[in-house]
Amino acid sequence: MNDEARTNGGADASAIPLDGDVLLYTGATASVAPERLAPLLRAVQEHLGPQFDAYRRTYERVHADEERAVFLVPDGHWADVGSELDLPEREVDAVRRAHAQQLRRIGTKTDRRDELETALEIREAVVVGR
């Protein structure tokens, strides 16, 4: 569990449900300033958190634990979320990369990397904190 979620008993809707190494990877590969990444991901989580039940009912959940749930959504989903939040394309791309990388990391830990990597070829990952 990340430090913010730990400090807030896991109930902070703006806690980032992504592992630290995922944040480092995203910071290194995305064209968003590293100091902008955490506030961006918090803002996205604040948007996603209240929609947890809708994601659960509508999309395939490929992983869930006490910290987060990961859903596979149609390609273009992040562009739609970016429009709703009025995000520039480079920030949408950073968010997309971060969520996909978290799914890959989970896939590696659970020995499902190939399966989940294949799923990312046609869908996008959305990680929603619990």
Neighbours of 84 (CB within 10 A): 9
What is the per-residue pLDDT across 40-81, written as a single tens digit (0 to 9) for each?
999 999 999 999 999 999 999 999 999 999 999 999 999 999
Residues near 39 by beta carbon (within 8 Å), at least 6 away in sequence: none
CB contact at 8 A, 13 and 49: yes
| Strand locations in the chain (E) | 60-64, 68-74, 123-129
Burial class (CB in 10 A: 0-12, 13-18, 19+), 86: exposed
Q: What pLDDT band is residue 122 in, cutting at 50, 70 and 90?
A: very high
Lowest mean pLDDT, pick from 17-21, 30-34, 87-91: 30-34
CB contact at 8 A, 125 and 26: no
Residue 13 has pLDDT above 60, yes or no: no
In degrees rounded to 5, what are phi and psi of residue 68?
Answer: -160, 165
Residue 56 has which token pair? 């659960």
CB contact at 8 A, 27 and 37: yes
What is d(CA 81, CA 97) in angstroms, rounded to the nearest whole number? 14
Report the predicted TM-score, pTM, of the whole model to 2 decimal places: 0.88
Q: What pLDDT band is residue 4 in, cutting at 50, 70 and 90?
A: very low
Question: For the chain, which residues make up each domain, given as ranges?
Answer: 3-129
